[in-house]
Amino acid sequence: MNVYEHVGDMIHGALKVLQQEQKLAADIELPKVETEAPRDPAHGDMASNIAMVLAKRAGQKPRDLAQLVAEKLTVNDDIQTVDIAGPGFLNIKMSNSIWERVTAAILNQGPQFGRAQLGEGAKVNLEYVSANPTGPMHVGHCRGAVFGDALANLLEFSGHDVAREYYVNDAGGQIDVLAKSAYLRYREALGEDIGSMPEGLYPGDYLKPVGQILADSHGKSLKEMDEDQWLPIVREIASNAMMDLIREDLAALNIHHDVFFSESSMTQNGHDQIKDAIEALRKKGLIYEGQLPKPKGHEDEEWEEREQTLFRSTDFGDDVDRALMKSDGTYTYFAGDIAYHYNKIKRGYTHLINVFGADHIGYLPRMTAAVKALSDGNIDFDIKVCQLVKLYRDGEPVRMSKRAGNFVTLRELVEEVGVDPVRFMMLYRKNDAPLDFDFSKVTEQSKDNPVFYVQYAHARAASVLRNAKEAFPDMDISPSALAKADLTQLSDQGELALIKLLSGFPNLVLGAARAHEPHRLAFYLYEVASTLHKQWGRGNDSPHLRFIHTDSQGVTASRLALVAATQQVISSGLGILGVQAPESMR
RNA sequence: GGUCCCGUAGCUCAGCUGGAUAGAGCAGCGGACUUCUAAUCCGCAGGUCGCAGGUUCGAAUCCUGCCGGGAUCGCCA
């Protein structure tokens, strides 16, 4: 149950009654009523600005309208009082019975509490990571990976049918570079002294095993071939090996994609899907041969005027039209990506979401244009941009250079820091804000670390339930039993504050899912943890407020219901973020 | 030069798509451990929401223009 929607429905009902009674103009359209928890608890449990929103349309003064709505609302049992404040706010105090019902609902619904039907089963394709298969993943990939994965969980939790997809860029020039690098490692594996890696090739040790595989499977036969003969063979083997590596890296972060879509597959088996996609656009009159203006502001010696095949992306808000064919006659990366998205659309997805790194931000308008053009605007398309992660150690920036091969790999990060802190910290920031990630701070299992703070709240709740079993061996502390406890005993202000916060979980999930912003969950969980810890602290100062009240099994049962409900919400929330919820942290 | 993102407490950041007196953590100062696990809690202090206009009952939030920081700018991917 979602208290916010519940109150919104009641207000909506009140407005309709007012229209029937002709106290409110019947011909005005009623907007969706938004309710919110006021910042100041003195303003009640729920607040609505509906009177101010409608005042102009209704031709009435906000406070007069608010008064009419308030009268209709108070007949409802779940509403205790309605005050009118300021310019026309409805400040609503809920009956305690509703908080008792929410607590019971959390316990009875368990992991289902907060699930929503927002998506109504809509087919969502969520593409994330899509790192080039040219080496192991480094920390730069990490944020988008975690973000995409958590967003996928969040969308599933809110009723979407989500496919987690990885676009494998196994067709471009970088795969040739990979293959040439692997070929050198192959010769090395055969005993040849290759010296140091030539400039422009990948120097990392991770290609040595690939060289060995090539030596084992092909012996010396590759050495006797010309480059155009061995290149396709080595490309295939090397890129497959790199994808195996990447899959292991992702698994270390508990990330598992449903689909790995190969770029090169689109032009294989005598069927050129890229050509098909371009033809589809051509039929819409969006393809032409022309010249692009030279970009201003930076000198480019290599620039030459050239007629080329262009996509009219400016029709859809892009700055310039975009090239589809390179000067060597092959497709541009963009052409392939158009075809890939055309493919997604043809597979029946109605919602496409891409997670980009900040370095691809300039790619956003043309991709948006392409999807609009291909779908005639019928696809819900969103690109989430993850800003860069800056690594620090003891406050000092960690310098990385891919060319020198000294970049920090994702695996090293996970092994040093642990999955949970990595995942949580990557989400403990808005995706489009830059993120500073300090090894030493995140490794430190201290108060400075929000992950442990939240996890500790969960462990603490679990601990209370264990201890209760010792204090009252006969008590049934299963969620279903606790849901039946006399919850009217929950009357302390701290207890009520906690319940009210927990009751906001379903609404928070809705908002985060709509906005595609999983970080909201991380901040919410921090707040839930804080509120639980705070109530614990009150028990330290005032023993009669402790969760386990040895003098009264009844009071204890009601408080355990609250503790168990808190544990459940934290567990569900952390589950969406892909972070463990430990029973104990001793 | 074009486009996009960011600018909120000393530092790191939230701010629920326009609401009421702008919040949290860290750092600083002062308190609470024979504990329902102190990985915690309580208190104090800290602000021209980059600047200037505009939109309206109401702006950190939306629009415009500046200032500062970052990303990116045919044929790489």
Q: Going by C-beta distance under 8 Å and a sequence separation of 6 or more, which residues neighbour residue A47?
A: A35, A36, A37, A38, A89, A90, A91, A92
| Predicted confidence pLDDT, tens digits, chain A (586 residues) | 899 999 999 999 999 999 999 999 888 888 878 899 998 888 999 999 999 999 888 889 999 999 999 999 999 999 999 999 988 999 999 999 999 999 999 999 999 999 999 999 999 999 999 999 999 998 889 999 999 999 999 999 999 999 999 999 999 899 999 999 999 999 999 999 999 899 889 988 999 999 999 999 999 999 999 999 999 999 999 999 999 999 999 999 999 999 999 999 999 988 999 999 999 999 999 999 998 888 776 666 677 778 889 999 999 988 899 999 998 889 999 999 999 999 999 999 999 999 999 989 999 999 999 999 999 999 999 999 999 888 888 777 787 655 555 678 899 999 988 999 999 999 999 999 888 888 877 777 666 789 999 999 999 999 999 999 999 999 999 999 999 999 999 999 999 999 999 999 999 999 999 999 999 999 999 999 999 999 999 999 999 999 999 999 999 999 999 999 999 999 999 999 999 999 999 8
Q: Say how far apart CA A213 and CA A203 lie, in whole Å.
A: 18
What's the confidence (pLDDT) of residue A297?
Answer: 62
Output phi, psi for A522, to 5 deg. -60, -45
Among A339, A356, A386, where does a domain finish? A386
Beta bridge partners of A310: A288, A323
Range(s) of the domain holding residue A217: 173-252
Asked whether strand B has any atom less than 7 Å from the CB of A111, the reply is no
SS3 A182: helix
CB-based contact A424:A442 (threshold 8 Å): no
Same domain, A354 and A478: no
What's the confidence (pLDDT) of residue A390?
Answer: 85
Lookup: nucleotide whose C1' is closest to A318 CA: B3
Same domain, A471 and A563: yes
Residue A374 tokens, joined: 């291909």
Instruction: Kindly state whether residue A401 falls inside one of the protein's structural domains.
Output: no
Alpha helices in A74-172 (DSSP H): 96-109, 139-157
Same domain, A479 and A549: yes
What's the confidence (pLDDT) of residue A327?
Answer: 87
Which residue's structure tokens are 């996609």? A277
Using a 7 Å CB cutoff, list residues 165-184 of A near strand B: 169, 171-174
Same domain, A265 and A358: yes
CATH number for position A479: 1.10.730.10
Using a 7 Å CB cutoff, list residues 188-247 of A near strand B: none
CB-based contact A529:A457 (threshold 8 Å): yes
Asked whether strand B has any atom less than 7 Å from the CB of A519, the reply is yes
Instruction: Kindly state whether residue A420 falls inside one of the protein's structural domains.
Output: no
Beta bridge partners of A325: A331
Q: Say how far apart CA A489 and CA A516 lie, in whole Å.
A: 38
Instruction: Kindly state whether residue A582 falls inside one of the protein's structural domains.
Output: no
Same domain, A469 and A548: yes
Residue A12 tokens, joined: 């909506």
Instruction: Kindly state whether residue A507 falls inside one of the protein's structural domains.
Output: yes
Among A359, A386, A413, where does a domain finish? A386
Note the residue count of chain A. Answer: 586
Q: What angle do CA A550, A553, A556 make, to 5 degrees?
A: 75
Same domain, A140 and A192: no
As a rounded value in angstroms, the CA-to-C1' distance for A431 and B49 is 20
CATH number for position A291: 3.40.50.620
Same domain, A156 and A278: yes
What's the confidence (pLDDT) of residue A446?
Answer: 65
Chain B nucleotides covered by protein, CB below 7 Å: 1-7, 12-27, 32, 36-42, 57-58, 70-77
Residue A553 tokens, joined: 């099994």
Same domain, A161 and A232: no
Nearest CA to the C1' of B25 belongs to which residue? A448
Asked whether strand B has any atom less than 7 Å from the CB of A517, the reply is yes
SS3 A98: helix
CB-based contact A495:A534 (threshold 8 Å): no
The burial of A582, by beta-carbon neighbours within 10 Å (0-12 exposed, 13-18 middle, 19 or more buried), is given as middle
CATH number for position A11: 3.30.1360.70
Same domain, A363 and A269: yes
Same domain, A365 and A494: no
Nearest alpha-carbon partner for A518 in A143, A8, A121 = A143
Q: Helix A553-577 to helix A519-541 angle, to the nearest 10 degrees? A: 160
Asked whether strand B has any atom less than 7 Å from the CB of A307, the reply is no
Alpha helices in A32-172 (DSSP H): 50-58, 62-73, 96-109, 139-157
As a rounded value in angstroms, the CA-to-C1' distance for A454 and B41 is 15
Q: Say how far apart CA A91 and CA A42 lie, in whole Å.
A: 9
Same domain, A85 and A50: yes
Asked whether strand B has any atom less than 7 Å from the CB of A385, the reply is yes
What's the confidence (pLDDT) of residue A199?
Answer: 86
**Total domain count for chain A?**
4
Among A227, A252, A277, where does a domain finish? A252
SS3 A150: helix
Asked whether strand B has any atom less than 7 Å from the CB of A305, the reply is yes
Instruction: Kindly state whether residue A439 falls inside one of the protein's structural domains.
Output: no
Q: Say how far apart CA A575 and CA A254 lie, in whole Å.
A: 12
Nearest CA to the C1' of B75 belongs to which residue? A326
As a rounded value in angstroms, the CA-to-C1' distance for A429 and B7 is 16
Lookup: nucleotide whose C1' is closest to A385 CA: B5
Same domain, A154 and A179: no
Which residue's structure tokens are 């030539």? A198
Output phi, psi for A66, to 5 deg. -60, -40
Instruction: Kindly state whether residue A411 falls inside one of the protein's structural domains.
Output: no
Instruction: Kindly state whether residue A474 falls inside one of the protein's structural domains.
Output: yes
What's the confidence (pLDDT) of residue A438?
Answer: 83
Instruction: Kindly state whether residue A264 falls inside one of the protein's structural domains.
Output: yes
